[in-house]
Amino acid sequence: MNLYEKIVNREEKVSLIGLGYVGMPIAVSFAKKTDVIGFDVNKEKIELYKNGIDPTKEVGNETIKNTTVDFTSDEKRLREAKFHIVAVPTPVKEDRTPDLTPIESATCTLGRNLTKGSIVVFESTVYPGVTEDFCVPILEKESGLKCGADFKVGYSPERINPGDQEHRLESIIKVVSGMDKESLEIIAKVYELVVDVGVYKAKSIKVAEAAKVIENSQRDINIAFMNELSIIFNKMGIDTKAVLETAGTKWNFLKFSPGLVGGHCIGVDPYYLTYKAEQMGYHSQIILSGRKINDDMGKYVAECTVKKMIKANKQINGSRVAIFGVTFKENCPDVRNTKVIDIIKELEEFGIEVKVVDPLADIDDLWREYRINSCEIDEIKGMDAVIFAVPHDEFKSTIHLEDLGKMFRSSGQMHIDSEAMNEVAATSECITDINGKVLIDIKGIFNRKEAEDMGFLYWRL
C-alpha cells in the first residue's frame, strides 16, 4: 500500500504549512477527503480558525466552523503527517530581489519534524531551482534524512485567485511535478482527490516552477501595455476604455485593461524570474520594462488627480481626498503590496489629507503595514476629490453617482496653490475656473457620460 492509498484510507495525514489566502482553502478542500493538519506560526490566526472565523474571506465563516481541519501552531504536530504541502508567501525585498525568508523558515520548521517516507510538495511561487537547490538541502540538514532515500519532494504551483469565487482550487487544472516517476504519480493522485478538472504532470520540478513564474509575468506585461496605452491616450484626449471596447470586437484581441498591479503574485513574481536570469548573465528587457510601468502607475494616478484638482480651481495644499478601496484587488481583504498606497503617499507629498474607505480590507493588516485606518462611508464629507481605486462589488452595488455629490466640499471657490500648480501644471491642460467635483474612477465603474452630465470632472485610466 503506497502513501496515496494510506491517505485515502485515513491511515496517514496531509499537512498544510501556511494557512493564508492559498493554504487555508487547500486545507479545507483536502479535509473533505482525508485527515488534515493545518499549521501556521501565527497563533492569533489559528485561534480565529478554531473559533470559526475566516479572516481571508476565501471560504467563509460557516465553512471554517464545519471543516475538520485540525488547526494548530504546534510544529511538532507535523510529525503526524506524511504528505506535506508548503504554501507560504514569497515576497521581494526593498531592492526587489527575492525574499526567500518565509519559505526558508517554513522549510526549517518542516525539516525539524520530517519523518521517513514523507513527500513534501512546495506551492510557493519561486524561480526555477529553488525547490531542489534551496529547499532540499535545508530539509536534509534539519531532518538528518536523505532526499530520494528517506523522503521525496515535488512542486505544484498555486493557482488560487484570491477574491475570485469562480476560479477555485477544484475548477483550475493543477500542475504537479515530482522528483521521480513514483513521487509524481503519488502527488498527482493526491491532488486529484480535490481538483475536479484534473491535473497536468509537468516534465520536471524546474519546468513547473518556471511555468508558474511566467504565468504572472505574462499577465504583468499585458497589463503594462494597457497602462502605457492609457498614458498615451490620456495625452491625446482619447478615452482608453472606449478604445479597448472597440478593439475588443476582433476575435483575437486580448482583453486586458489598465490598472494598479500590486499584491503578492503579479506584482512580485516577475522579479523572481528576472533575478534568476541575471544570475545566468541575462538582463531582462521586456519583463523589467513592464514592471517599471506598473510600479509607477500609483504615482501617475496621483499626479493626474492633482492636475484635475488644479483644473477645478482647488487649492492643493490642505485639500482633502477620499480613496475608496485600498486592497490590492477587488473583493479581497488582502492589503499586502497594494499599489493604492503609492497614490496615498504621492498625494500626501502635495500636502493633501487622504481618507480611506474600504469595508473589505483587513483592518489589522492595514494598520500594521501602513498605519492607516479605514473610515466609514458616512464620514466622507467635505472632499475636494474622490478616487475609486478598487472596484469592490460592494461599492458598485451601493454607491451611485447621486450619492457622490454629498461627499464634496460645498464651500465657495478656492484659490490655486501656486507651488503645487508649478509642479504639475507644465504637463496639465489649461486651468479653468469651473470649481468642479473631481471624480477619479481608476477602473471605470461609473458611466463617464452620466458623470460628466452631472457636473463631475471625471478621469479614468
The pTM (predicted TM-score) of the whole model is 0.87
Instruction: Give 239's contacts (C-beta < 8 A, 6+ positions apart).
Output: 233, 448, 460
Question: Which candidate in 265, 304, 332, 430 is catalytic?
Answer: 265
β-strands 118-122, 151-155: how paired?
parallel
Q: What pLDDT is stored for residue 414 in this prediction?
A: 44
Q: What pLDDT is stored for residue 422 in this prediction?
A: 47
Q: Hey, which residues does 200 pair with through a beta bridge? A: 175
332 as an active site residue: the answer is no
| CATH topology agreement for domains 3-202 and 226-459 | yes
Question: Which is nearest to 12 in space by CA: 33, 41, 40, 42?
Answer: 33
Domain residue ranges of the chain, discontinuous segments joined by +: 3-202, 226-459
Q: What pLDDT is stored for residue 411 in this prediction?
A: 53
Residue with cell 523589467: 288
Q: What pLDDT is stored for residue 167 in this prediction?
A: 64
| Tens digits of residue pLDDT in 335-359 | 988 999 999 999 999 999 999 999 9
| Tens digits of residue pLDDT in 252-308 | 999 999 999 987 788 889 999 999 999 999 999 999 999 999 999 999 999 999 999
CATH of domain 226-459: 3.40.50.720
| Tens digits of residue pLDDT in 168-195 | 677 789 999 999 999 999 999 999 999 9
Quick one: 3-202 is in which CATH superfamily? NAD(P)-binding Rossmann-like Domain (3.40.50.720)
Question: What DSSP character marks residue 149?
Answer: T
Question: What DSSP character marks residue 359?
Answer: S
Confidence of residue 165 (pLDDT cuts 50, 70, 90): low
Q: d(Cα 27, Cα 246) in Å, to the nearest integer?
A: 43
Confidence of residue 245 (pLDDT cuts 50, 70, 90): very high
Helix 297-311, helix 205-236: angle, nearest 10: 20
Residue type, 350: F
